[in-house]
Amino acid sequence: MYIVKRLFTMIVTLWIIATLTFMMMHFIPGDPFASDAKMLPEEILENMRAKYNLDKPLAEQYFLYLKDLAQLDLGPSIQSKTRDVNTLIAEGFGPSALLGIQSLLMAIILGIGLGVVAALNHNRVLDYLSMFIAIIGISIPSFILAPLLIKYFGVEWGIFPVASWGTWQHTIMPSFALALGPLAIIARFVRTSMLEVYNQNYIKTAEAKGLSTFSVVVNHGIRNALIPVISFIGPLFAAVITGTFVIEKIFAIPGIGKYFVDSIFNRDYPVILGTTIFYSTILIITLFIIDLAYRFVDPRIKITSRGE
Amino acid sequence: MSRLLEVNDLKVSFRTYGGEIQAVRGVSFYIDEGETLAIVGESGCGKSVTAQAVMGMVPVPHGKVKNGQILFGDRDITKLSKKKLQQIRGSEIGMIFQDPMTSLNPTMKIGTQIREGILKHQKLSKNEAKEKALELLRLVGISDVEKRYSQYPHEFSGGMRQRVVIAIALACDPKLIIADEPTTALDVTIQAQILDLLKDIQKKRNSSIILITHDLGVVAEVADRVAVMYAGVVVESGTVDEIFENPKHPYTLGLLKSVPNLDSPDKERLIPIDGSPPDLFAPPTGCPFAARCPFAMEVCVMHMPDKETFSDHHYAKCWLNDNRAIKVEEMITAGSEQLV
Ligand SMILES: Nc1ncnc2c1ncn2[C@@H]1O[C@H](COP(=O)(O)OP(=O)(O)O)[C@@H](O)[C@H]1O
Ligand code: SF4
Ligand SMILES: [Mg+2]
């Protein structure tokens, strides 16, 4: 019952996102053929507009779009004559997903590690060092970190390839550029959460059982400290996803993000809508999974139709 | 009865931003096999810190055992390595904490929490450890143990949780159990049940219990001997009878007066002791109770009173018991006659 309700909410959310994006898109001045306007005769432009339904009233365009969307057809791309939006997304999905997942894992694993080390060394050198790294990570945006990485690790020291995509080495710099911010946020969050857990009596109970330090830290400390962090992975995931647009552009990675950025400049309406809806879907599904995971990890929360 | 634990002149301090807190300032006591020793005193007098020290769990790095011995068998707990301490904890000394609502891990099944310690200390398979855990649950009076075994703490009431905490402390059949205010957070009716349970277990297993409490009612109920703590020192110690019938320290007297009389039907009003304990950042050089003591003399403020012994077990640290002060005491008890 809870799950059915959640699924219904998810569909409504997507519909609202599609509608808002559709409206905002048409409020931006210009249209897909603005740059061609000077070169092409008026009749040809008319024909082109007709081909993409752009001559019809906005409301009609909207319903036509929704009809296609209901059949999971995201329509043709105006810019690319050969590939429709579904194909673009299918082609770009591989690199984007790899980049996104790799940076997310990097952020989560390194972030938790850094946070735990800091908490266990509360107010000692390792704590200060970890939090110094974290502050740097939070204050440098990925689009500044990326060129810096390219300059030093790519050009000057030649450790990693400068840009483009192909081998695993290509993925390191963009993933790290994307991961550092979230990594730093997770580290700080985990540290606070871990310190709080360590003030709890059940840590003393665990120590009083004579358990090894490792067992106390992992089974009683980290496990409980991570529960609030799970709820945090949703917004983080969103941050990583939106981050991929810029990073893909900077590193010339052939992912969906690159198409998305290009599509906005070109007013490629179906691509803007299609990629937005695609990303929203992924985000919404992820949030749903995280919610389920949360309920799984924390036995105090039960799946019920009445919510909490 | 042979000696199980002996604490000699224990001093524990904490470094804080405000300076050094001298939480425990020279505590000595002992406990024999099969005995129940109550440590009583107002909140903040150093009871829990003393218990932490006995467990070897004074929080590092800001907490430190500065002085003294904690002799457990032939070992001095203050000198043991972390590894050795972990071997003793849970297997030879079990600990019950005050607040049952927070002393269990909320995300771990209670069965696992009991089994954990057994697996650490005893060479048993997981199934044997489970059998043992189920047995413990039965021992502490939990019914339907198979089902309860795989439930989480939030599915238990406060009293039931405290039973689980007790089961954890008992898991490896420790010789010594330290119970730090085990009933303070519970309803009165549940309190009595938990105390009965502890007494019952002690009888069945002949274990020794250090019961920490600020409630003399609890002491009368279960203890053999009492150590009264004030501002980080034991000011009086003796058997329950000696302490209740013949208190030798004004602080003990004050505590006794503040207990509602259990025998009188219309519960007498509590008479709390006026004032508050001294600042542990800069404890007084003389008697720590001087500022609140109705009998305080000049000497009390200047010098720490010596230990005055009244029987094998009974002693107090108060100038009123000094030979030179006896006359003063007689004057008080005898009233005006001698004054004339
Ligand atoms: N971890 C700690 N850090 C600093 N001060 C502490 C710590 N634990 C206890 N203290 C101080 O030591 C004193 C004794 O505390 P405690 O033993 O908990 O008293 P109680 O008799 O109520 O159990 C108190 O003044 C308390 O503030
Ligand atoms: S030593 Fe003096 S101040 Fe302290 S308890 Fe005895 S009479 Fe009171
Ligand atoms: Mg206490």
CA–CA separation, B7 and B50 (whole Å): 10
pLDDT at residue A68 in the model: 84
Assess if residue B273 is contained within a domain.
Answer: yes
Assess if residue B287 is contained within a domain.
Answer: yes
Domain that holds residue B259: 255-339
Token reading at A31: 């249209």
Establish if A296 touches chain B: CB-CB under 8 angstroms.
no
**If you measure CA to CA, which chain A residue comes closest to B171?**
A209
Q: Which residues of chain B have pLDDT under 50?
A: 267, 328, 336-340
pLDDT at residue A306 in the model: 41
- Does A150 or A301 have the greater pLDDT score? A150
Say yes or no: CB of residue B290 within 6 Å of ligand 2: yes
Token reading at B83: 């590894």
Contacts A219 to B, Cβ<8 Å: 105, 108, 116
Q: How far is A297 from chain B, CA to nearest CA, in Å?
A: 7
| Residue B53 CA to ligand 3 centre (angstroms) | 13
Find which of B80, B103, B166, B177 to mutate to test the A interface (most A CBs within 10 Å of its CB): B103
Find which of A126, A127, A195, A209 to mutate to test the B interface (most B CBs within 10 Å of its CB): A209
Contacts A210 to B, Cβ<8 Å: 85-91, 117, 120-121
Q: Which of B104, B120, B154 sits opposite A202 (nearest CB)?
A: B104
Say yes or no: CB of residue B305 within 6 Å of ligand 2: yes
Assess if residue B324 is contained within a domain.
Answer: yes
Question: What residue's CA is closest to ligand 1, atom 19?
Answer: B44
Q: Burial level of B180, CB count in 10 A (0-12/13-18/19+)?
A: buried
Say yes or no: CB of residue B39 within 6 Å of ligand 1: no
Assess if residue B240 is contained within a domain.
Answer: no
- Does A129 or A151 have the greater pLDDT score? A129
CA separation (Å) from A134 to A111, A181, A186, B182?
9, 8, 9, 42
Stretch A161-187: mean pLDDT: 84
Say yes or no: CB of residue B310 within 6 Å of ligand 1: no
Region for B97 from its dihedrals, namely left if φ exceeds 0, alpha if ψ lies in -120 to 50, beta otherwise: beta
pLDDT at residue A67 in the model: 85
Best residue among B14, B42, B54 to mutate for probing ligand 1's pocket (most ligand atoms within 8 Å of CB) is B14
Per the structure, the count of domains in chain B is 1
Token reading at A24: 């905002």
Q: How confident is the model at residue A90 (pLDDT cuts 50, 70, 90)?
A: confident
Q: Which of A15-19, A53-57, A141-145, A208-212 has the lowest mean pLDDT?
A: A53-57
Token reading at B305: 């009173």
CA–CA separation, B121 and B106 (whole Å): 23
Cβ contact B106–A202 (<8 Å) = yes
Q: Which amino acid is at B88?
A: I
Cα torsion angle, B262, B268, B269, B270, sign:
negative
CA angle A32/A36/A39 to nearest 5° reads 160
Q: Which of A206, A210, A212 sits opposite B105 (nearest CB)?
A: A206
Establish if A207 touches chain B: CB-CB under 8 angstroms.
yes
Say yes or no: CB of residue B80 within 6 Å of ligand 2: no
Cβ contact A212–B117 (<8 Å) = no
Q: Burial level of B101, CB count in 10 A (0-12/13-18/19+)?
A: middle
Establish if A215 touches chain B: CB-CB under 8 angstroms.
yes
Say yes or no: CB of residue B318 within 6 Å of ligand 2: yes
Assess if residue B108 is contained within a domain.
Answer: no
For A239-287, how does the pLDDT look when each residue is reduced to its tens digit (9 = 90+)? 787 778 888 888 888 888 878 888 887 788 888 888 888 888 888 888 8
Assess if residue B150 is contained within a domain.
Answer: no
Residue A244 makes CB contacts below 8 A (sequence gap 6+) with A96, A99, A100, A178, A255, A256, A257
Q: What ipTM was assigned to the predicted interfaces of this complex?
A: 0.86
Question: What residue's CA is closest to ligand 1, atom 4?
Answer: B14
Cβ contact A205–B168 (<8 Å) = yes
Q: Burial level of A140, CB count in 10 A (0-12/13-18/19+)?
A: middle
pLDDT at residue A305 in the model: 39
Assess if residue B79 is contained within a domain.
Answer: no
Question: Domains along chain A?
Answer: 95-263 (1.10.3720.10)
Contacts B88 to A, Cβ<8 Å: 210
